[in-house]
Amino acid sequence: MDHFQYRNGELCAEDVPVRRIAKDVGTPFYCYSTATLRRHYEVFAAAFAGVPATVCYAVKANSNLAVIATLAQLGAGADVVSEGEMRRAIAAGVPPKKIVFSGVGKTRAEITAALDAGIGQFNVESDSELALIAEVAGTMGKRAPVAVRVNPNVDAGSHDKISTGRKHDKFGIAWPKARETYRAAAKLPSVEVVGVAVHIGSQITSVGPFTAAFKFIAGVVGDLRADGHTIRRIDLGGGLGIPYLDETPPSPEEYARAAIREVGHLGCELVLEPGRLLVGNAGILVTEVLHLKDAEGVRIVIVDAGMNDLVRPAMYGARHAIIPVAEAARDATREPADIVGPVCETTDRFAKEWPLAPVRTGDLLAMRSAGAYGSAMSSTYNTRPLVPEVMVNGGDFAVVRPRQSFASMLAGEAMAPWLTPATGLRSKAIR
């Protein structure tokens, strides 16, 4: 369920007509619903009621400060994969002790910053990373809390580009190799082993892969305890899918039942890292129809949003429902249309043969389920400014990221001194 519904023929975000927002901020823009964020978090957290569990929102799904802050106020921690995401989480009000730092490529600077901040856990993904964390922590006179991310060799059954738990994927350490990593960690005075971690991918629409991964990790915990390690925390990762069109992923309750059934008897605190599940259906991308054309019998609708604004269709072949902001008549004929953007790439296409009622230049369309991996993965390709992000709360709305200006884009660059300098662009030669 989300809070983007038609009222009197107009698409509304909670109590705010989307057309009103478009008039104020222009198109394209992202719009997020506070009520939807709250509902998704509360339903997920309630599924683990009575279980010692911390919900750490996966910031990579949508790193807008207002989104993170909304979830933090509900009690969420954060799963981060960079120093930048960590700083965003802290700025948004997430307590450092509720931050988990994941990712395969942590740098010395990032480890230092995370130890300075006092985060709750590093998810270690290689032996060399463990050595670096130990070195940095020792130099700082600190003890780093770590969990080793174990790769269970479970195929999540989702898109190849978002599967992370197979033996050839770059994430985690295979078992039993990870057993040796734990033995090494136990000998490092600047490292504290606090748990074990697993994560098998994203947009998973069956409970089977989760069950397999959770069952596997329960066996790992048993083996590690037999080796003398104190395992008090299990990080189960995230990955639970959402309905974009016709998908029927497990409910949070089904997911929780599988987790509790497989690892609940171990007496560990659970760490859960939902991302897409919380924010995906809480956001839409609103765009304006620029031009209509016929390409040898193919109906083409050209809009002002581009693949730089929402790259998922181009990168993954992802499908988003696309609806008119002004509700189409029930008897309107919906004919196939290719909905494309202005970016100079053939792959700049949001939908192929999408059933769409007649539209005219100037009409507004909304791409649903765009709250996850939309703005977070956007770019300025073709020197197109980043689009604004808007947060709605009941009958109020606020711009929580303004539209980037061309002036600010150019201000971030400098002309080499041996070139004819453009106005306002200066640089220094490095000798």
Catalytic residues, by residue number, are: 344
Neighbouring-strand partners of residue 147: 123, 195
- Residues 400 and 386: their CA atoms lie apart, in Å, by 13
For the CA atoms of the chain, what is the radius of gyration? 23
